Amino acid sequence: MLKILVPFDFTETAENALSYVKKFVGYDEDTEIVFVYVDESEDTDAVNKLEAVKADFESHAISKVRTLVVKGEFQSALLEVVKAEASDLVFIGTGLINKDKLITNTSTFVLSADCPVIVIPKGYEEFQIKKIALVIGEDLIHNSKLLETLLIVARRFSAKVEVLTVKRGEAEYGYTTADEKNENVISYYLENFYSGHVFIDGPDIPKSIFKYAEDKNIDLISILPRNHEVGETSSKGALTKVLSEMSKVPLLVID
């Protein structure tokens, strides 16, 4: 059974994410939904309000649904719930700070969570997952089993996965030992849902990714962040942070 955790704070951003979750889950009875409200301000009516959200969701789905109200600071409390629930996937909304930039607590949570997270931008009302762009760099994929989450999503919607690498400088791309190993791993894990690997030029990596997503009508951007890896390939998750704050299409962060 797929366990999905949905942080919910009764805002428009959360409602928008909830709408996406409803369409993602559909009438799948082999899914458990856990709505979580982190109470930072002693909201005495939080339990009743969250139960109303649950009741509405149950009228549109046949999944098992539970609610949790926990007290504490948002980030730490939510991370504790993710760990305790052993969640398979988290859906979280992100809000609009201006016409160009999306930002909330979301990017901080995404970088800290050891769990796949789908970020739904506020205002994203469409639902279709037919074309997925998996963004990888030139480094070796060290934990190939993480691709299983992407396979679950692709298989659920019969989606094609395009692998995207934004080239930096004049280095050789597509023919290195790491490239060949990554290609074999991706082909193995994504099966017939894998449609090919594209290398594009772009000194500004986020802008290049967003332009590709727009030009190719990508429904979901996916990334394997390097911020939790050990060794020379470890990074601070800068690209993941930018994508989660600025993407105008849903983002799947696989961790």
Q: Assign 3-class secondary structure to 158-198.
A: CCEEEEEEEECCCCCCCCCHHHHHHHHHHHHHHHHHEEEEE
For residues 115 and 225, the answer to whether their CB atoms sit within 8 Å is no
197 to each of 146, 151, 161, 178, 180, how far by Cα in Å? Answer: 18, 16, 9, 14, 11
Q: Residue 102 pLDDT > 80, yes or no?
A: no
Q: Residue 83 pLDDT > 80, yes or no?
A: yes
pLDDT, tens only, 167-217: 776 656 555 777 888 899 999 999 999 999 998 887 888 999 999 999 999
Number of neighbouring beta carbons within 10 Å of residue 216: 13
For residues 109 and 78, the answer to whether their CB atoms sit within 8 Å is yes
Residue 205: name the closest of 178, 251, 165, 234 by CA. 165
Q: Confirm whether 2-121 and 131-253 share one CATH topology.
A: yes
Q: What is the DSSP letter of 50?
A: H
174 to each of 166, 182, 196, 245, how far by Cα in Å? Answer: 11, 10, 12, 29
User: 234: buried, middle or exposed (CB in 10 Å: 19+, 13-18, 0-12)?
Assistant: exposed
**pLDDT reported for residue 106:** 82
Q: What is the DSSP letter of 107?
A: H
Does the domain formed by 2-121 have CATH 3.40.50.620? yes
Domain ranges of the chain: 2-121, 131-253
pLDDT, tens only, 219-249: 999 998 763 344 444 555 888 888 988 899 9
The CATH label, of 3.30.930.10, 3.40.50.620, 3.50.50.60, 3.30.70.3040, for the domain at 131-253 is 3.40.50.620
